[in-house]
Amino acid sequence: MKAKLDLPDGHARVLIRLLELGDPRHYSWALTGSSGLRLQGVDVPVHDLDLQTEADSVFRLEEKLAGYMTIALHEKETEHTRSVYGMARIDGLQVELMGDVRHRMADGAWNGGVSIGTMRLWVEWNGRQVPVLPLEHEAAAYEKMGRPQKAELIREAIPWSAND
């Protein structure tokens, strides 16, 4: 599918650098959060770039971004989410790395996570292929994080996005 909305210039430059440094075909990551939503037609402001991957890939990606890392990968847990988390800063822009993301289920246990490599979609953006997570998955994730308004905003874009 083709990108529905563009990213701000600074975000676009950093995304291009990320695609070159950590080719998603080799590191199995997907653009998630506001930037991934925006490329799929959800009109939200973009503040940073979020990359989601599996546990093994996130450590390999951290090595590729070693010169940019400001927070080393570590286990991070909130009320709703658990992941291997780290942060990089590229050209002044925050880039969050999240590996092995799991959400707390109603019974308090953590779900089994997802396989990014098999779930991601590819969006054509500025002559490049960018991996993103499906809007249905993103909406469900925001629900699990206790953000129902954001989930509803995403769901409203799903029929529009499907009409590529």
Question: What is the C-alpha separation between 146 and 143, in angstroms, rounded?
Answer: 5
List of domains in the chain? 9-134 (3.30.460.40)
Q: What pLDDT digit, counting tens, does each position of 2-37 carry? A: 988 899 999 999 999 999 998 998 889 999 999 999
Crossing angle (nearest 10°) for helices 148-162 and 135-144: 170
Per-residue pLDDT for 161 more than 80? no
Both tokens of residue 11? 């975000």
Determine the pLDDT at residue 164: 54
pLDDT bucket at 113, cuts 50 / 70 / 90: confident
pLDDT of 67 strictly over 80: yes
Q: Spell out where the chain has E strands.
A: 29-32, 49-53, 69-77, 81-90, 93-103, 121-125, 128-132
| DSSP assignment letter at 159 | H
Mean pLDDT over 103-107 rounds to: 86
The CA distances from residue 11 to 79, 158, 162, in Å, are: 29, 24, 25
Q: What is the pLDDT of residue 4?
A: 87
Report the pLDDT averaged over residues 42-53.
95
Q: What is the pTM of this model?
A: 0.89
Distance, in Å, from the CA atom of 134 to the CA atom of 37, rounded to the nearest integer, reads 9
- 19-39 burial, b if ≥16 CB within 10 A, otherwise e? beebebeebbbbbbbbbbbbb
Lowest mean pLDDT among 67-76, 117-126, 137-146: 137-146
- 51 pLDDT exceeds 60? yes
What's the Cα-to-Cα distance from 107 to each of 11, 72, 83, 103, 110, rounded to whole Å?
38, 31, 19, 11, 9
162 pLDDT above the threshold of 80? no
At 137, phi and psi to the nearest 5? Answer: -65, -45
CB atoms closer than 10 angstroms to residue 144: 17
